[in-house]
Chains A and B, each alone.
Chain A
């Protein structure tokens, strides 16, 4: 009996702790995030229902079926088939719908007019590179890397295209415009994560991984490394600064002017 009460109490407290929404997803800042929230909510309700149903059923069974005589049964094929089919339908449907949402962000061709930014992750900081007025990224060479001199990307001084490249420790983007990141790592695996975008992507050394998003709501959003990269993993922080398009252009121009 005590077990039944405990099970029901747990079910209640767990349900309440989610329902209260005190610790919940942060504000979405683009369509993908909003779509994520909607799909997550559906999954959440289904999962929550299954969880509650199971706890209530268990509690009820424990309450009801003590002391009386057991009723012999070796199974019920019909029931087995029913719940197998129902479960299969549920899970397959969920995975198909989820797959379509996933495909939409993975397979879409890279939109024209995207702002290209290179991201370089290292133990334990982030750096971002814009191509500057010439629209071309300069060649990089690992031997040219010099953090102290402000060249974390290792931009090769001999390449003219690289002279106007803009390197920044924060990621500034214009609101509403697609951004195409090229993710690189200098040493170990890191991960680029912005909660408000609802996406994250590993940065694998030896690979250049494209990653696109568009942020609609101006503001500052923290970038948190999300793949264990060493003792400074918890300090590997940067910010995504979404600016109104005019403000972004002004910033970009100011950077180039200074060179």
Chain B
């Protein structure tokens, strides 16, 4: 195929449907993912607000609860099963449709081809298909709210047999649970399609001069995440199929013999609930790295740009990403320390789990090394990036405790765990999403977000997340079990009421503050100040394109890369930053 001349560069599709809805342009698809995830995030946050409210006011009569959920909240009082289903959906929506979507499919789709000088992803139509499959998956999940019995109540982890025996296990475990499984299967397929696209694009479509060791760390994050997804989601898909068969076809993969539920003896024959946990967590642990690795790439970039310094130890950062990706597949047993697994396995998993602390620590030291002696510009994006480092350490140190079975035997399934994973996964990833949004918004829309509104949003959010999640560790110290619909039945839990009230108030306030972000996003999109091509004076290739970039980006004038991705403040250089395609070959 001969290369085309300029006059033959394809124009944007004219039809509204092809341009905005069924677009194959990676930039449009990235925005579609982003918007889907923003909606999901607000829904997930609203669910958590309802949860926190119920925990401290379990008897409260709220009229519109009764209107929305006549069965789940008769007379306006939330029942335990409704609480549990809100909790299940909160976890599922946040983990899959926010954390697994924005950093990888949202930012990755938009920015990756730009940063490597490609015209689009390797398989644009597959890309479109993967977005719409994700959207369908979300619709199927939300449908669970509206079916008989409502949404499932087994947690996002859906342990068998509770998830496998159907409606007799509890409200929502009938059709609601089936829809949940189908949704997750669809999501897995969509993720696999996306992973294939990312890997192929990164391996094959880099512009001249863009060797692997000149890739921006964002691209490394997306690459490792895509490889992890490729292996992890395959296992989730297998687990989901077996679970579906147990539910609908009378098989006994996960359901043992001789169970009595609601006075009925179940006919199943000797399956293994632990098998489900192994399959689920073999996916589930790499999943948390899928949620955080792209964010780490963003943070490395943002810290570097706004310190006007190269990333400290680029090579070490790459190796750390690779090591985290690999080790991430070897530690799943730490979710199962109290399950009755062999103590030998537990110890092996423990050693491996704590070993992952090493590359994570290296990255943290290198982030600090990046900003050390830098020329810091405290833009909103930078504030969120610094906040990321703070919460990553806060969440990470408790990992050292939870990774030891002897200690986990107390803390498993308590609020100590809830605090831990929210800090290191929920909060950290979300701060990275905010950092990335403020950073790339100018490129995507041609406008700047409001720094004032952004800073107010940051300070409230940053203080707020500490106020919400650090006290949860205290509750965990007291032995407060998680997934309890209320704390009225246990003497030792009544002492914790004031703590929980504090958490709830902090949560409601912080949740409300997220509206500032939404307002900023919407207002800036229409009325923000016009953005120059490279407002942050950054070095990676996306900043060499107009804002927003034209269809097919560089076209066939794709630049040749001559240097690494973070040549800031190079001694003797004419400017404090050198773009990757600028100047003489290094």
Contacts and interface: CB of A to CB of B under 8 A. Distances in A.
Find out whether A and B make contact in their complex, taking CB atoms under 8 A apart as touching: yes
Given A222-B491, A222-B492, A62 B272 contact: no
B312 A6 contact: no
Contact of B310 (A74, A98, A228): A74
Contacts of B271: 206
B412 A200 contact: yes
Contacts of B475: 23
Contact of A98 (B355, B404, B487, B495): B404
Nearest to A102: B406
A234 interface: yes
Interface stretch (B241-249, B253-261, B543-551): B253-261
A224 interface: yes
A228 B339 contact: no
A253 interface: no
Contact of B80 (A13, A54, A234): A234
Among A13, A75, A101, A147: residue with most chain B CB under 10 A: A75
Given A3-B378, A98-B350, A226 B80 contact: no
A145 interface: yes
Interface stretch (B113-121, B202-210, B569-577): B569-577
Among B261, B383, B404: residue with most chain A CB under 10 A: B404
B261 A187 contact: yes
Contacts of B16: none
B354 A232 contact: no
Given A87-B362, A191-B338, A228-B483, A200 B409 contact: yes
B226 interface: no
B487 A234 contact: yes
B401 A43 contact: yes
Given A187-B161, A205-B161, A102 B405 contact: yes
A75 B314 contact: yes
B256 A205 contact: yes
B410 A200 contact: yes
Contact of B474 (A23, A47, A65): A23
Interface string A56-100: 011001100111111111111001100110011001101110110
Given A50-B397, A54-B393, A94-B400, A234 B485 contact: yes
A172 interface: no
A193 B484 CA distance: 14
A58 B368 contact: yes
A251 interface: no
A237 to B, nearest CB: 5
B459 A6 contact: yes
B390 interface: yes
A233 B484 contact: yes
Given A2-B459, A189-B273, A36 B376 contact: no
A200 B397 contact: no
Nearest to B409: A199
A75 B413 CA distance: 41
Contact of B162 (A36, A55, A73, A188): A188
Contacts of B374: 65, 70-71
Interface string B176-214: 000000000000000000000000000000000000000
A160 interface: no
A54 B388 CA distance: 12
Contacts of B313: 74-76, 80
Which size class do A's interface residues fall under?
Answer: 35 or more
Interface in A201-252: 201-202, 204-207, 209, 222, 224-235, 237
Interface in A139-196: 142-143, 145, 147, 186-189, 191, 193, 195
B155 A36 contact: no
A114 interface: no
Interface string B321-349: 00000000000000000111001001100
Given A23-B499, A73-B310, A231 B351 contact: no
Among B162, B470, B569: residue with most chain A CB under 10 A: B162
A227 B369 CA distance: 42
A47 to B, nearest CB: 4
A7 interface: yes
B71 interface: no
A91 B368 contact: no
A199 B412 CA distance: 9
B414 interface: yes
B290 interface: no
B171 A71 contact: no
A45 B219 CA distance: 37
Interface residues of B, number: 113
B265 interface: yes
A95 B371 contact: no
Interface in A1-25: 2-3, 6-7, 10, 13-14, 17-18, 22-25
B576 A43 contact: no
A180 B489 CA distance: 27
B285 to A, nearest CB: 17
Among B271, B403, B466, B568: residue with most chain A CB under 10 A: B466
A229 B393 CA distance: 33
Contact of A40 (B343, B375, B401, B495): B401
Contacts of A66: 375-378
B75 interface: no
Interface in B231-276: 256-261, 263, 265, 270-274
A105 B406 contact: yes
Contacts of A48: 397
A123 B261 contact: yes
Contacts of A228: 84, 154-155, 159, 162, 483
Nearest to A2: B459
Interface of B: 79-81, 84, 153-155, 159, 161-162, 165, 169-171, 256-261, 263, 265, 270-274, 307-310, 312-316, 338-340, 343, 346-347, 350-351, 353-355, 357-358, 361-362, 364-366, 368-369, 371-378, 383, 386, 389-390, 393-394, 397-398, 400-401, 403-407, 409-410, 412-414, 459, 462-463, 466, 470-471, 474-475, 477-479, 481, 483-487, 489-492, 495-496, 499, 568-571, 576
Q: Which 8 A-B pairs give the minimum distances between C-beta atoms?
A: A206-B256, A98-B404, A75-B313, A195-B479, A234-B484, A47-B397, A106-B343, A70-B375
Interface of A: 2-3, 6-7, 10, 13-14, 17-18, 22-26, 36, 39-40, 43-44, 46-48, 50-51, 54-55, 57-58, 61-62, 65-76, 79-80, 83-84, 87-88, 91-92, 94-96, 98-99, 101-103, 105-107, 122-123, 142-143, 145, 147, 186-189, 191, 193, 195, 198-202, 204-207, 209, 222, 224-235, 237
Given A95-B403, A231-B153, 9 more contacts: A6-B459, A7-B390, A61-B368, A66-B375, A75-B316, A96-B351, A123-B261, A191-B338, A234-B489
